Structure 1
Amino acid sequence: MNYELTQRFFFEAAHTLERVIETESSRRIHGHTYLAEVAVRGEPQPDSGMVMDLAHLRAAIAVVRDELDHRFLDEVPGLQRGTLEGLCTYIAIRLREQVPALAWVKVGREASGDACTLTL
């Protein structure tokens, strides 16, 4: 049997965007409350009965969350763009080494109903 184990976390961040629509407000520095969720996929290990110890997953997430929380995303090293797609990619890349069973990353803004999912 295959299981998916998920963990959610919030972070607050600001950014600017170059767009062809809603250009004025997007070019100004503005911020969002982001909700991110990551999933690991696999079979429970015989010795622990867990796909992955959630304490290890939370520790890996804490490092990435600190890199994004209360930051100006335009200045985060390694983040190409402060879009939902860019955030999914950034989180996946940053977690992959410590979380090899990473299955997907989702980043959304609940206040506006927007979300993006990167399936690995």
Structure 2
Amino acid sequence: MFYELSQKFFFEAAHTLDRELDAEGSRRIHGHTYQAQVTVRGAPHARSAMILDLGDLNAHINRVRNQLDHHFLDEVPGLGPATLESLCAFIYRELLAMVPNVVRVRVERSATGDRCELVSAACIPTPLKVH
């Protein structure tokens, strides 16, 4: 039996975005409050009965959060354009090096209702083969 364990975190950040719609406002430096959620999947360890100690997960998340919180996202190495998709991919890549069973990363801006979710290929069911 497998379980999924999630932890949320928040960060505040500024960025610009080169886009066609709302171009003037997007190209100016502006900021958002972001909420991210990281999900790990696995079987509980026999001794601890935990997939991963939430304290350990929180410590890893804080390492990534510190790269984003109160930063100008355009200047974060390895992020690329400061889109929700790029933020999901960045958080996933950074955490995967420390927490190999990360299966999902969600980033949202609840003030605007925008949300993006990266789902690891390990979560996508394989189609059944019909013989």
Length-normalised TM-score, structure 1? 0.99
Q: Secondary structure at the match of 2:60?
A: helix
C-alpha distance in 2, partners of 1:81/1:105? 18
Quote how far apart the aligned CAs of 1:30 are.
0.3
RMSD: 0.5
Alignment of 1:1-120 (within 5 A): 1-120=1-120
C-alpha distance in 2, partners of 1:106/1:14? 19
Quote how far apart the aligned CAs of 1:2 are.
1.2
Gaps of 5+ in 2: 121-131
Quote how far apart the aligned CAs of 1:45 are.
0.7
Length-normalised TM-score, structure 2? 0.90
Quote how far apart the aligned CAs of 1:29 are.
0.3
C-alpha distance in 2, partners of 1:49/1:78? 36
Gaps of 5+ in 1: none
- Between the aligned residues of both structures, percent identity stands at 57
C-alpha distance in 2, partners of 1:62/1:85? 20
Quote how far apart the aligned CAs of 1:97 are.
1.2
Q: Secondary structure at the match of 2:55?
A: helix
Q: Secondary structure at the match of 2:44?
A: coil
Quote how far apart the aligned CAs of 1:102 are.
0.3
C-alpha distance in 1, partners of 2:102/2:83? 21
Which contiguous aligned blocks of 4+ residues in structure 1 show a shift greater than 4 angstroms? none
C-alpha distance in 1, partners of 2:2/2:81? 33
Q: Secondary structure at the match of 2:11?
A: strand
Write the deviation string for residues 2-33 of structure 1: whole angstroms up to 9, x where unpaired: 11000000000000001111000000000000
